[in-house]
Chains A and B, each alone.
Chain A
Amino acid sequence: MQNITLLDGQKFQITIQRLCRQLIENHNDFSESVLIGIQPRGIYLAKRVAEELRKILPGNNIRQGDMDITFYRDDFRRRSAPLIPSETKMDFIIEGKKVVLMDDVLWSGRTIRAAMEAMLAYGRPQKVELLALVDRRYSRHLPIMPDYVGIEVDSIASQKVVVSWVETDGEDKVVLLSEIENKQTD
């Protein structure tokens, strides 16, 4: 197992700050925008971004919610066990709003497809954008591209990108895990 740290410490903070400023460029005071973190791991990103935006734009109402997409996944009955759903917490409607979907790692794009389907139950947004902290390039199964990207990573399927957060793991960090498979060399 070989671990490469892609982002941590001050660089991590700078990346979050840059994403916030890019969002402000397009959303001004966020009066017509909402931020939605995708459960289970995207919610920490959305919470962090919302928190930073509130610091940069004091007095503005930054709306942020958590959305669970488990029931909308396309791999139900195609994986060994069902995924256990998480909570959806959205105390606003998205009808006519600009929605920014947020997830920590963008890989196949299937989660985002499910998120778009789940989101439509809450109304018809005026526009939907995608923010990913890590974009694993050249690995998409669907025609989905992020609008805002923290870092881009070129990785192979056997590798794994893990994002940790101060709130849950004690440290802000993006790590690329490479598993060396011995089984295939027999």
Chain B
Amino acid sequence: MAELSTRHLLGIKGLTAQDIELIFETADRFKDVLNQPQIRKVPSLRDLTIANIFFENSTRTRLSFELAEKRLSADVVNFAASSSSVSKGETLIDTVNNILAMKVDMVVMRHPYAGAATFLSKHVKAQIVNAGDGAHEHPTQALLDAFSIREKYGDVAGKKVVIVGDILHSRVALSNILCLKQLGAEVMVCGPTTLIPKYIGALGVQVEHNLIKALNWCDVANMLRIQLERQDIKYFPSLREYTMLYGLNKDILDSLDKEITVMHPGPINRGVEITSDVADSKQSIILDQVENGVAIRMAVLYLLAGQTP
């Protein structure tokens, strides 16, 4: 018997290496379940209701959470801020407490503000799972990324991972750095100076501005999207120039000494950070990441829900 050290999943920051390992071991079993076409669904969470509250757009994460919940037999309600009373001026706590009053046990929330999930966990009774808070954390994405690396290489420890792109605005980058470091991987970030936070070295990562050097160093390259929606000013002259300096294409991939693994958290902007032939190549595990996402989210929900109420 083992248990997570936390009641909510607010970020990778609150997790120990043992927690992450426990989530991975549980996810292994859920992957078995998902790969059995005649099963795919287990009754564990049949007496639970989970609300997916999304104050920001999402396709993959919302669908992945919803499928994970349904495959655990939970009842699911979905809520998108655009079509809700939030636009009429209701506060976050009021909105969530109203949902909880309808006997909802867990909340999965995405919010444009950093710290929203942590704030909510201090003010409402339900267990909270952070599905992305602003440019802060996206813990389940980092877990599924590390899980995919573990699946590919057998272990995360000692692997060299470079995260390329808009590190400054990316919650995926921060959660990935914390998760990979916690599991003993070496992490490097790569991108234009303007998109790399000034003191990121304090997290124990290397910084490289030359894509080719970074790729030659790494085992795994995680290519991030440029988050134009979060960029209030121009951080680089043009997307075309960004692509020329930091875009990954087949020629670069083939010129490297070794075969690296390419990852992308999605959504992909084909032809910007990564070309189509790279995204669809054998070295890409992008769709494996999506597949693992459901198993990881099932594991997180299962382990949190199983704690004493």
Residues in B neighbouring A83, C-beta threshold 8 A: 1, 306
Residues in A neighbouring B42, C-beta threshold 8 A: 71-72
Contact, CB under 8 Å: B32 / A87? yes
Q: In the complex, A122 Cα to B38 Cα: how many Å?
A: 7
Contact, CB under 8 Å: B26 / A85? yes
Residues in A neighbouring B44, C-beta threshold 8 A: 71-73, 76
Residues in A neighbouring B28, C-beta threshold 8 A: 87
Residues in A neighbouring B1, C-beta threshold 8 A: 81-84
A38 to chain B, nearest CB (A): 15
Q: In the complex, A83 Cα to B2 Cα: how many Å?
A: 7
Q: In the complex, A73 Cα to B25 Cα: how many Å?
A: 18
B40 to chain A, nearest CB (A): 9
Main secondary structure of the interface of A (DSSP, over half): loop
A80 within 8 A of B: yes
A16 to chain B, nearest CB (A): 29
A65 to chain B, nearest CB (A): 13
B43 within 8 A of A: yes
Contact, CB under 8 Å: B29 / A82? no
Known: A71-B43, A84-B25, A84-B26. A77 touches B32 (CB 8 A): no
Residue of A nearest to B42 (CB): A71
Residues in B neighbouring A72, C-beta threshold 8 A: 42-44
Contact, CB under 8 Å: B47 / A77? yes
Residues in B neighbouring A122, C-beta threshold 8 A: 38-39
The interface size bin for chain A is 20 to 34
| Residue count of chain B within 8 Å CB distance of chain A | 26
B178 to chain A, nearest CB (A): 24
B65 within 8 A of A: no
Contact, CB under 8 Å: B2 / A81? yes
For window 54-96 of A, CB contacts with B under 8 Å fall at 68, 70-73, 76-77, 79-88
A152 within 8 A of B: no
Residues in B neighbouring A68, C-beta threshold 8 A: 29
Residues in B neighbouring A123, C-beta threshold 8 A: 38
For window 1-50 of B, CB contacts with A under 8 Å fall at 1-3, 22, 25-26, 28-29, 32-33, 36, 38-39, 42-45, 47-48
Interface string of B293-305 (1 = CB under 8 A from A): 0000000001101
| Interface hub of B26, B29, B38 (most chain A Cβ within 10 A) | B29
B258 to chain A, nearest CB (A): 32
A171 within 8 A of B: no
| Interface hub of B39, B305, B306 (most chain A Cβ within 10 A) | B306
Residues in B neighbouring A179, C-beta threshold 8 A: none
Residues in A neighbouring B39, C-beta threshold 8 A: 121-122
Contact, CB under 8 Å: A82 / B36? no
B59 within 8 A of A: no
Residues in B neighbouring A70, C-beta threshold 8 A: 29
| Interface hub of A81, A83, A85, A123 (most chain B Cβ within 10 A) | A85
Taking Cβ atoms with an 8 Å cutoff, the residues of B that contact A are: 1-3, 22, 25-26, 28-29, 32-33, 36, 38-39, 42-45, 47-48, 302-303, 305-309
Give me 29 A-to-B residue pairs in the complex whose CB atoms sit less than 8 angstroms apart, sorted by A's number. Answer: A70-B29, A71-B29, A71-B33, A72-B42, A72-B44, A76-B44, A76-B306, A77-B306, A77-B309, A79-B306, A80-B308, A81-B1, A81-B2, A81-B3, A82-B3, A82-B302, A82-B303, A82-B305, A82-B306, A83-B1, A84-B1, A84-B2, A84-B25, A86-B29, A87-B29, A88-B32, A121-B36, A121-B39, A123-B38
